[in-house]
Amino acid sequence: MAEFDAESWRSRWESYPFAEAYRDIPIGWVLETDTGEVVGTIGNVQMLYEMGGRRFKGAIAADWAVDAEYRGKALHLVTAFFKQKGPALMVNGSASPTASKVLAGLQIPRIPIPDYSSPCFWAARPAAFAKAALSRRGTPAASFLSYPAGLVLLVRDILRRSGRGRLSGPVRRLGAFDDRFDSLWERIAAGPARLRAVRTRAVLDWKYASDVEGGRAAVLASESGGKLSGYIVLMRRPGSDLGMGLYDVGDFQVAGDDPAVYRDLLLAAVQLAREEGMDAVKLMTGTPAKRLPARALQPYSYQLPFWQLYYRASPELKPALASPDAWDFSLFDTY
């Protein structure tokens, strides 16, 4: 909280393209002492969702934090979030190991996409990737071993074609979101009936424009006949995951779930990572339509030791969310 920027925080809520629909919904809750001192907080990020041509108000939990001496009162905040009135969907999509235990204890349902707990990685710089993997396993002398291990990974990746291949169509980097993203969203929304956060051009600008302009994110788009057929947003995370410089896939959308376009965008993402000196590309997805083309590119993976995704839905919406393919969940839905 030491780096909290009140103006930036306020702008984030007030500039959401559908903010008017949320005027009666709180932007979060705080935990106060008897003297009015704030000792805890949880944010309530507004997000409009669409499924089968219908729109639903959603809310995403963010920044759940409580001062150490008041942790016994932390449940008041998460209870306020999941018991709020108004949103048809409430999501905590980035639970920590501790938060995961709390949410499971409160019997908050899991989002039923089990593959999401196994992220996909493609090594852009094998030596750095090998060092991070060895460090994660607690291997002694990980730095010394990273170069021979990296050479082994490079040979393995070449033989298995991990993150390698020829594009089937043009993919180029965009400096901003344009009007074509509105048309693309209409085609995506008209496709398979999944729960998706609305992604109009205005929403994408709200979510990513400042990061794209500041060089913290990159947008790659697949084009066909002047129209967009899909896009991928890559978020730069230097020094994360045991020292690796990552490109996190922040958003990944393709009209009609075309597997060739999914493949092209992932290949282009790995190529961009190599060109820009990033160590790896990381994809978190459990949606089967995206997971299959990702697996075909032979990623590295591991199993997270705890569950991150929890939700509560209205009685009207809940039956439609029982299967993994009903969800199009990604880092776009997390804070």
Q: What residue ranges do the domains of the chain occupy?
A: 6-115, 120-302
Helices (H), 190-249: 201-213, 240-243
- The answer to whether the CB of 242 falls within 8 A of the CB of 132 is yes
- Strand-pairing partners, residue 89, are 58, 313
- Rounded-to-10 torsion of CA 25, 30, 35, 39: -170
Q: Does the pLDDT value for residue 1 go beyond 70?
A: no
In the structure, what pLDDT confidence band is assigned to residue 157 with cuts at 50, 70 and 90?
Answer: confident
Section 204-224 average pLDDT: 95
Helices (H), 95-179: 97-105, 126-136, 142-160
Alpha carbons 220 and 234: distance in angstroms, whole number: 8
Q: Does the pLDDT value for residue 108 go beyond 90?
A: yes
In the structure, what pLDDT confidence band is assigned to residue 226 with cuts at 50, 70 and 90?
Answer: confident
- CATH architecture under which domain 120-302 falls: 3-Layer(aba) Sandwich (3.40)
In the chain, what percentage of residues exceed pLDDT 90? 74
Q: Does the pLDDT value for residue 3 go beyond 90?
A: no
Distance of CA 59 to the CA centre of its chain: 15
In the structure, what pLDDT confidence band is assigned to residue 2 with cuts at 50, 70 and 90?
Answer: low
Asked, colleague to colleague, whether 6-115 and 120-302 share their fold, the answer is yes
Q: Does the pLDDT value for residue 14 go beyond 90?
A: no
The values of phi and psi at residue 216, to 5°, are: -95, -5
Instruction: Determine the pLDDT at residue 274.
Output: 93
Q: Does the pLDDT value for residue 241 go beyond 80?
A: no
In the structure, what pLDDT confidence band is assigned to residue 85 with cuts at 50, 70 and 90?
Answer: very high
Q: Does the pLDDT value for residue 306 go beyond 90?
A: yes
Q: What value does the mean pLDDT of the chain take?
A: 90
Eight-class DSSP state of 327:
B
| 214-223: b (≥16 Cβ within 10 Å) or e | eeebbbbbbb
Q: Does the pLDDT value for residue 152 go beyond 70?
A: no
CATH, range 6-115: 3.40.630.30
Instruction: Determine the pLDDT at residue 141.
Output: 58
pLDDT digits 0-9 by tens, 46-75: 999 999 999 999 999 998 889 999 988 999
Closest CA relative to residue 94, chosen from 34, 35, 45, 148: 45
Q: 119 is written with which tokens?
A: 């992220």
